[in-house]
């Protein structure tokens, strides 16, 4: 359903230099698949998601690559064509619901506007659809929510409204950019349960972006691990969690606290370098415990294991 190949995106800095944000990104998603995109803050997860729907900031530029959605190369699409894709075929759940919603319009009207645009409904027809949608996603007082402004709702309620906005047109693909970041644990569980139900009922695929491995393990089938603008390991989620191959993925799992085990946290040494100083060869090698001589010279290739796992690491050449 979605195939990204050789995608490169760069930022133009104040000095007029292009800084690579995404480097040779390649991934595939099947229909109804749930794929998790994991990595530290600043590794390029959100930029990858925004590239799919071409909502990049002005300083960002797609240098090369292909983004194929249902057989259509979105890279070549004009803005008018993209308006028919965004919302209707690809729904986007943004990280911060307060910035995703317009503060001067009632939340129900904002969702109704999307339905009117894509399906040519009257305002009354759109309102009835929004009220039904609010009931489905668990609002006890759908009419009150419909007539509320974003600032009148709690964080969890606003996030549900943003989810309603993303799914109102029954899209084939839902991109969820850290949809539970600002929520407490109880609301997080409710939002994840809601997304799972939506996926199963609407038969949508979900690209779930997060920095929390333990969170996505309950909702996703596949996993992509990103580091400094590259996908360094990808494949079946259970297989990777049972047997992580890349030293970075191993480090992420070792840094997870386990309540049932008395173990010390083992943080990954060092820090992420700035985009202007990406190391030569494997970008992770300055922080890697298992680096080889070749790691600082050449970028590693993708190495496949049993069609269930792929890793970008010289240890497995």
Q: Per the domain annotation, does 229 fall within a domain?
A: no
67 in Cβ contact with 52 (< 8 Å) = yes
- Structural domains of the chain, count: 1
Read off the CATH number of the domain in which 14 is found: 3.40.50.300
DSSP state of 138: T
Whole-number pLDDT of residue 263: 67
Which of helix, strand or coil describes residue 155? helix
Within-domain flag for 263: no
Q: Are 169 and 202 in contact (CB under 8 A)?
A: no
Would 305 be classed as within a structural domain? Answer: no
Residue 298 inside a domain? The answer is: no
Neighbours of 276 (CB within 10 A): 10
- 192: Cα separation from own chain's centroid: 14
Distance CA 4, CA 27 (A): 5
Q: Could you tell me if residue 282 is inside a domain?
A: no
Range of the domain at 182: 2-220
Q: What pLDDT is stored for residue 219 in this prediction?
A: 85
Q: Helices (DSSP H) in the chain: which residue ranges?
A: 45-52, 79-85, 97-100, 107-119, 123-136, 142-146, 155-167, 185-202, 213-216, 237-242, 247-254
Least Cα distance to 166 among 122, 216, 111 occurs for: 111
- Domain membership of residue 312 (yes or no) is no
Q: Is residue 317 part of a domain?
A: no
Which among 130, 91, 88, 124 is positioned nearest to 108, based on CA atoms?
130
Residues 125, 175 contacting (CB under 8 angstroms): no
pLDDT 10s digit of each residue in the chain, 317 long?
999 999 999 998 877 888 999 999 999 999 999 999 998 888 999 999 999 999 999 999 999 999 999 999 999 899 999 999 999 999 999 888 888 899 999 999 999 999 999 999 999 999 999 999 999 888 999 999 999 999 999 988 998 999 999 999 999 999 999 888 767 888 888 888 888 888 888 899 999 999 888 788 888 999 999 999 999 999 999 999 999 999 999 999 888 776 666 667 788 888 889 988 999 999 999 999 999 999 999 999 999 988 899 999 999 98
Joined together, the tokens standing for residue 168 give 């109102």
> Which tokens sit at 214?
């333990």
3-state secondary structure of 210: strand
Instruction: Name residue, tokens 């929510």.
Output: 145
Within 8 A by CB and 6+ apart from 38, the residues are 45, 210, 211, 212, 213, 216, 223, 224, 225, 226, 252
Report the interhelical angle of 155-167 vs 123-136 (nearest 10°): 120
pLDDT reported for residue 189:
84
Phi, psi of 104 (to 5 degrees): -100, 5
Rounded Cα distance, 226 and 216, in Å = 14
**Domain presence at residue 164:** yes
Question: Bridge-partner residues for 4, per DSSP?
Answer: 27, 67
Separation CA 118–CA 87 (nearest Å): 8
- Predicted TM-score of the model (pTM): 0.92
What's residue 266's pLDDT?
80
DSSP, residue by residue, 165-199: HHHTT--SEEEEESTTTTS-HHHHHHHHHHHHHHH
pLDDT (0 to 100) of residue 260: 61
């Amino acid at each position: 359903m979605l195939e990204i190949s050789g995608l490169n995106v760069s930022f133009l800095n104040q000095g007029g230099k292009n800084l690579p944000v995404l480097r040779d990104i390649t991934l595939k998603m099947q229909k109804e698949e749930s794929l998790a995109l994991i990595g530290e803050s600043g590794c390029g997860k959100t930029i990858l998601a925004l590239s799919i729907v071409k909502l990049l900031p002005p300083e960002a530029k797609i240098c090369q690559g292909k983004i194929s959605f249902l057989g259509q190369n979105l890279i070549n699409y004009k803005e008018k064509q993209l308006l028919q894709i965004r919302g209707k075929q690809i729904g986007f759940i943004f990280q911060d619901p307060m910035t995703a919603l317009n503060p001067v319009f009632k939340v129900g009207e904002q969702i109704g506007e999307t339905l009117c645009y894509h399906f040519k409904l009257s305002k009354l027809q759109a309102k009835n659809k929004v009220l039904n949608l609010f009931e489905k996603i668990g609002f006890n007082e759908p009419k009150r929510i419909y007539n509320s402004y974003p600032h009148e709702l709690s964080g969890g309620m606003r996030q549900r409204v943003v989810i309603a906005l993303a799914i109102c047109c029954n899209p084939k693909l839902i991109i969820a950019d850290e949809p539970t970041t600002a929520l407490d644990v109880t609301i997080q569980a409710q939002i994840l349960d809601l997304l799972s139900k939506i996926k199963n009922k609407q038969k949508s695929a979900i690209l779930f972006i997060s920095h929390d491995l333990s969170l996505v393990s309950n909702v996703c089938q596949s996993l992509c691990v990103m580091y400094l603008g590259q996908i360094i390991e990808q494949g079946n989620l259970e297989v990777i969690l049972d047997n992580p191959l890349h030293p970075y993925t191993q480090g992420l799992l070792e840094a997870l606290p386990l309540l049932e085990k008395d173990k010390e946290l083992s943080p990954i040494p060092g820090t992420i370098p700035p985009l202007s100083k990406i190391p030569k060869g494997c970008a992770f090698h300055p922080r890697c415990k298992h680096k080889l001589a070749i790691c600082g010279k050449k970028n590693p290739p993708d190495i496949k294991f049993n069609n269930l796992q792929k890793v970008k690491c010289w240890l497995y050449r």
